Structure 1
């Protein structure tokens, strides 16, 4: 059976590289956010397909679920009712999924948290692993931590890596030239954390998406002016019939 990755943005897969490299051949990558222009969408999709091809994933398994949805980067939480049937249709086509991997519920970016909510919605009893990207509990302004899982999300599951694997992981960031400006600030913080702490992921307990990711201001509240109250309300009301 398959492993399905539910990811917000093209390049989010980079944070899951050690898991992807070990999960075998039957992996699918489902991207949720839409982009402002078809040209930008195509460019970023091509970058992710090229990166994942190096990890053994065929291009046809890298799917832009949110293409043309209007759920633009930063607005995924506002489009959950429309995105759910798109995601469900792709999962039905894939067939049985034995495990989901999703961007962590961590208050770093509202699109990442929205994907965690979608994963909980479609997974049922299927296990979900969450991979941390960035967050900022206790930090002011635009400061953040990258690659450090929240203690609130439970026990760590560590992945041991050889020096060669670490090197390949580190240089793999070159696969995303369209996002070079973002990675210039993010990558050093991320790899400093990995080199001091190692790589780890966590299971996602479905109850977490009804809880504030951590006490105090969230990173997306500080950086983007989107409140947790808005995100939580969007998730709570996305499927009102239930």
Structure 2
């Protein structure tokens, strides 16, 4: 009998703590014994900050039973800086392709949603589509972090799948899982200011709709995430046209 290599779910994230948005998926697969690997692409202003944030991510993964080496800071030293991934797309893509080599057969990819919340997240979703195509069409799941569809100024929705991204699949969580999810945000003390606003918004969504994720269709990343101003245009002053031009220049 020929032994088949175990299938691997490969998570592609820009920043340490992005994995919090995928925690229900990570938790369910960890309990099922599925091989899971997490790759982080963005680098930080200093090695000390990068290491501090990486240690916070490892702490979270240990809480759900994943080994420390399941996560890899593949973008360390690659020149792909936090907040400017779209300005270093060739380097970011090289990091992703190298990270996918040598893994057991990849069953699916998981990425931050194409939703206009952060230019790094959208850039990574675009690169995931290209990586999927190079691997023969591996399916991609996208998880929502935040976006400002239909809202003014700095207002946003947390973990709220965009209607434009298609049907939503729901993940069931027990009361104990919800408690773990709610408490796990404490693994990120260096990001407490971010989570002080995002965590309540996320759990407001969960309270009304539960946890949902969506399939990322390849053609979706050729479209504007949603009509009207995007959150990253309003908050970070990065025009969609700048991001779009960088993505299109890659091919």
**TM-score with structure 1 length normalisation?**
0.97
**2:96 aligned partner:** 87
Could you tell me whether the CA contact under 8 Å between 1:7 and 1:102 is conserved in 2? yes
- 1:37 and 2:46 matched: yes
User: Any stretches of 5+ residues in structure 2 without a counterpart?
Assistant: 1-6
User: Any stretches of 5+ residues in structure 1 without a counterpart?
Assistant: none
**2:28 aligned partner:** 22
**2:13 aligned partner:** 7
Could you tell me whether the CA contact under 8 Å between 2:9 and 2:34 is conserved in 1? no
Q: What's the CA shift string for 1:40-92, capped at 9, x where partnerless?
A: 00000011011011122211120011111222111001111111122111110
Match of 1:208 among 195, 209, 220: 220
Could you tell me whether the CA contact under 8 Å between 1:102 and 1:130 is conserved in 2? yes
**1:169 aligned partner:** 181
Q: Secondary structure at the match of 1:94?
A: coil
Runs of 4+ in 1 over 3 A off after TM superposition: none
Q: Secondary structure at the match of 1:169?
A: helix
Instruction: Give me the CA root mean square deviation.
Output: 0.9
CA positional deviation for 1:212: 0.1
| Number of positions where the alignment pairs a residue of Structure 1 with one of Structure 2 | 239
**1:71 aligned partner:** 80
Could you tell me whether the CA contact under 8 Å between 1:25 and 1:57 is conserved in 2? no
CA distance in 2, matches of 1:27, 1:97: 10
- 1:223 and 2:235 matched: yes
Q: Secondary structure at the match of 2:78?
A: coil
Could you tell me whether the CA contact under 8 Å between 1:103 and 1:115 is conserved in 2? yes
CA distance in 1, matches of 2:26, 2:106: 15
Could you tell me whether the CA contact under 8 Å between 1:117 and 1:235 is conserved in 2? yes
Could you tell me whether the CA contact under 8 Å between 2:168 and 2:213 is conserved in 1? yes
Could you tell me whether the CA contact under 8 Å between 1:154 and 1:202 is conserved in 2? yes
Could you tell me whether the CA contact under 8 Å between 1:50 and 1:175 is conserved in 2? yes
CA distance in 2, matches of 1:87, 1:37: 22
CA positional deviation for 1:229: 0.6
CA positional deviation for 1:25: 3.6
- 1:198 and 2:246 matched: no
Q: Secondary structure at the match of 1:233?
A: helix
Could you tell me whether the CA contact under 8 Å between 1:66 and 1:86 is conserved in 2? yes
CA distance in 1, matches of 2:21, 2:171: 13
**1:160 aligned partner:** 172
**TM-score with structure 2 length normalisation?**
0.93
